[in-house]
Amino acid sequence: MSDTILVTGGAGFIGSHTCVALAAAGYNPLVLDNLCNSDLRVLDRLERITGQRPGWIEGDVRDRALLDRVFAEHRMAGVIHFAGLKAVGDSVADPLGYYDNNVNGTWVLAQAMEAAGVQTLVFSSSATVYGDPDRSPIPEHAPCRPANPYGRSKRIVEETLGDWQAARPGWRVALLRYFNPVGAHESGLIGEHPQGRPNNLMPFVCQVAVGMHDRLMVHGNDYPTPDGTGVRDYVHVMDLAEGHVAALRQLQKAPGLLTLNLGAGSGLSVLQVVQAFERASGRAIAYEVGPRRPGDVPAYWADPSLAERVLGWKARRGLDAMCADSWRWQQGNPNGYA
């Protein structure tokens, strides 16, 4: 029988794509999500893609009684923990809400796992734990200086899960630091559907392409980068999803603590993304250059070589695939799953 993996936040953007990768690798995903930033209809799409409907539990990771029931009813081989809030601006406005969801949520989950004897955990961390790095590419041993409550919530979880794994050496924990996830499953059936006006570059570009906004605002072109615009490490969400499966497999081989960057290992500017999206979509993307966005770092990208050595994983899909897949999803689903 295939291993069941609890996927918290599995109805969301990265979690839903990871359900596809898990099913492809022979695992049996069981999604737990409170739907605060996702849509239940994603399950229909997952069934269409994989031929198998993931298990479903509606609920909150902070609900210890619910978790105890879930672990009692299902024999779980491990947990991939995506459930969390991710908007930097909201975290500045409501830090305690963010710490409660992201930090307390993870602690409640880990305690429920321990009580149930489930000791394999993959955690969604973020490159935001590095803050403004001294240099790129960023290796995992670079200093962590998160610059906002969201980033600090991720770093606190990393440190406390590290303490926990040291105290319980039988545990198997992977802290995966994602760089900038973009793209969508190549079927165009699942993808990212931000609520309200997107903050992130790729969803905004997609919405300009379909006419929801008349132009993109480029946040500054006076950075010390080749074309002056901000540089980031964009990684295709399906590559990221496969990285989770690789991490899970590695943890199943041996107990321990893994801290790994998941990124493509190269930086792309805002204008490079815009140009690639124009090629992929055949649409012109109007843009205007505005001031720098407060808090933005000029440029950073990952050193992903440790993930390649430890997991045998590296990002395979390039910028053209990221744009083509984002565009296919956007065109086919202008209102998300509605």
Answer with the entry of ligand NAD, ligand UDP, none that 146 interacts with (C-beta below 5 to 8 A by kind): none
Q: Would you count residue 145 as binding ligand UDP (CB under 6 A)?
A: no
| Cβ–Cβ under 8 Å, residues 98 and 150 | yes
Q: Which of 86, 172, 236, 328 binds ligand NAD (CB under 6 A)?
A: 86
Spatial CA neighbour of 307 closest among 228, 225, 222, 245: 245
Answer with the entry of ligand UDP, ligand NAD, none that 230 interacts with (C-beta below 5 to 8 A by kind): ligand UDP
Give the SS3 label for residue 203: helix
| Closer residue to ligand NAD, CB minimum distance, 124 or 250 | 124
What's the closest the beta carbon of residue 3 comes to ligand NAD, in angstroms?
A: 21
What's the closest the beta carbon of residue 284 comes to ligand NAD, in angstroms?
A: 26
Q: Would you count residue 60 as binding ligand NAD (CB under 6 A)?
A: yes
Taken in order 164, 168, 173, 177, is the CA torsion positive or negative?
positive
Q: Which 260-289 residues touch ligand UDP, going by CB under 6 A?
A: 270
Q: Which of 91, 106, 120, 126 binds ligand NAD (CB under 6 A)?
A: 126
Q: Would you count residue 230 as binding ligand UDP (CB under 6 A)?
A: yes
| Cβ–Cβ under 8 Å, residues 54 and 18 | no
Q: CA geometry: angle at 104 spanning 101 and 106, to 5°?
A: 90
Q: Which residue, judged by CB position, is nearest to ligand NAD in the bound state?
A: 12
**Which residues are catalytically annotated?**
150
Beta partners for residue 289, in sequence order: 218
Angle between helices 105-116 and 149-167 (to 10 degrees): 20
Residue 56: what are its φ and ψ, rounded to 5°? -140, 130
What's the closest the beta carbon of residue 293 comes to ligand UDP, in angstroms?
A: 5
What is the rounded distance in angstroms from the CA atom of residue 18 to the CA atom of residue 153? 22
Q: Which of 135, 293, 309, 316 binds ligand UDP (CB under 6 A)?
A: 293
Q: Would you count residue 151 as binding ligand NAD (CB under 6 A)?
A: no
| Cβ–Cβ under 8 Å, residues 247 and 236 | no
**Contacts of 44 by beta carbon, 8 Å cutoff, 6+ apart:** none
Binding stretches for ligand UDP (CB under 6 A) = 180, 199-201, 204, 216-219, 230, 232, 270, 293, 296
Binding stretches for ligand NAD (CB under 6 A) = 8-9, 11-15, 33-38, 60-62, 82-86, 101, 105, 124, 126, 178, 181
